[in-house]
Amino acid sequence: MNFDFNRRQVLQTGIFTGLPWLTPLGNALAAQADKQKNLTTRIPKSLIVVWLKGGASQLETFDPHPGKEISYGGAAIETAIKGAQFGTGLEQTAAAAENFSVIRSMVSKEGDHSRATYNMNSGYRPVPGLFHPSIGSVLCHERPLSGIDIPAHISIMPGSFPTRGGYLGANFDPFQMGDPLQPVPGISSKVGEKRQKDRLASLKLLEKGFAAGRIPDLDQKRTLHQINTQKALQMMSSEQLQAFDIKNESSSTVKSFGDTRFGRGCLAAIRLVESGVRCVEVSLGGWDTHANNAENQQKRIKELDPALANLFHELKKRDLYDSTIVLCATEFGRTPKLNPANGRDHWPHGFSVLIGGGGLRSGQVIGETDPEGKSKKPGKPVTVADLHSTIYTAFDIDTEHEFVTPTNRPIKISDGYPVEALL
């Protein structure tokens, strides 16, 4: 006879007959077991971060307040989410809103570009003497890949404050590239095949002599020279390099993304996650509108809208939506009140991000901001750490797990709390 019961079976059988007080506990534990089972059966594989560098205005994008003083005449359009509106110019993204959730209540304690970017990238505020890894670096560390010759972490058109591997090491820094229309940097030999082989043979001899008498794990833990050389050589001859080449896409597909540097970056991101890359970041700058806010935000929105909407459409078309989380974020929002230059200044007290795919709940709005622009406390606030914790939880990564830094300091993966409405 088989007496092998799991916890759920035990809780639902009559083993505890006569102990009715355990029923509520049993139901609660069974529900939690079901939730965990559902989560683990839909763990995403990749993350695409669409980074709006400079501080996109929530009032002109995903949290307009038409008719209110703080809108300064700005209009709004309906979205696929009932009762939710976006700013004008985001018609394609609004129509695709069933594919993601909008968090309108992001809060941060950082109002400086470099510090706020660091915070959004890593989930931690900057502190002296320590550099935290970005979310993509943590994903690559905790969910290592095999069978892939190209980098697992790629940053397309990074800005002034690029993401880093931090205390996890330079090995987890993203591979940086520019416009996907241009050749991938550093993957072509500048000499012929024979001369390249001769050079590599000479290099091997030099490295053998250099390694003699030195720390055994010097390369693995510090210089990374041999490791990176081997990775580069492997990448140079890999067929997976085709993932970078958007010229393999139809002209109609390229055009649907807007055929801009940013649009091509979003299309390349899809090709890269399709090939197995863990995390891709695509940046769009120009959102720091301290002057002529309405006009300059619209310029960026015109570029963002087709690329972001078709990013979701193409992921669905290629059956990648359920395995890929897309995060569209910025370092902070912009002030409800205009300054004398008709610009909006920095506002970390209630700004917006979009997140969807990868099994997360979509088609909803989380949080709300004051339509009068007076309160710095949005409804249902979500901290930067909470956002990171949500993504890590979706990837089934234990946020309580502690890394040990090179100075032997234990640091949790995240000190936030998952947004339950998304999971």
Q: What is the DSSP string of 34-59?
A: HHHHHHHTT---EEEEEEETTT--TT
Model's pTM, two decimal places?
A: 0.85
What mean pLDDT is predicted for residues 158-186? 91
Tell me the CA distances in angstroms from 163 to 49, 90, 237, 302, one per residue in order: 11, 28, 27, 26
Mean per-residue pLDDT for 122-134? 96
- Between CA 119 and CA 107 the distance in angstroms is 11
- For 325-352, the pLDDT digits (tens) are 999 999 999 999 999 999 999 999 999 9
Residue type, 181: L
% of the chain exceeding 90 in pLDDT: 74
- How does pLDDT run across 181-237, given as a tens digit for each residue? 998 877 766 666 677 666 666 766 666 666 666 656 555 555 556 666 666 666 666
What is the spatial distance between Cα 376 and Cα 348, in angstroms, rounded to a whole number?
9
What CA–CA distance (Å, rounded) separates 25 from 14?
A: 14
CATH topology of domain 41-180+245-422: Alkaline Phosphatase, subunit A (3.40.720)
Q: What is the pLDDT of residue 227?
A: 67
pLDDT tier, 8 (very low <50, low <70, confident <90, very high otherwise): very low
Give domain limits for the chain: 41-180+245-422, 184-240
